[in-house]
Amino acid sequence: MLRIYGIKRCDTMSRAQSWLAEHQIEFALHDYKKDGVPADLLADWMRRAGWQVLVNTRGTTFRKLPPEQTADLDNDRALALLTANPSAIRRPLIDLGSELLVGFDEKRWSGVRWSEVSR
């Protein structure tokens, strides 16, 4: 079954989950706050997408962090920041195996062959 990563109480997540339901795509929610994010999975996402894509710099969590934690980010600092603050991971995130869908983009999602997605 498809797994969608994010936070249960998030407007973007709500839109994404509604879109999936409207398109009759079954999914399971992995809530960053409740379930955490395994370090190896987060490191893999960063390797594949880059920290710049994964860090939600416009989100409340990131904006509330002290400048010494958010300044001069690089891969290692971003990994530490996201490990300590999973709410700062951009959402939703869906791992299709061959690619990561990061953020909700209805046009991009419409181009996915969901019937072929096995994760």
Name the catalytic one among 4, 7, 10, 16: 10
Angstrom CA distances, 67 to 17, 62, 81, 100, stand at 33, 10, 12, 29
- As a whole number of angstroms, the distance between CA 101 and CA 87 comes to 17
- Catalytic residue check, 10: yes
Closest CA to 116 of 93, 97, 91: 97
Active-site residues, by number, are 10
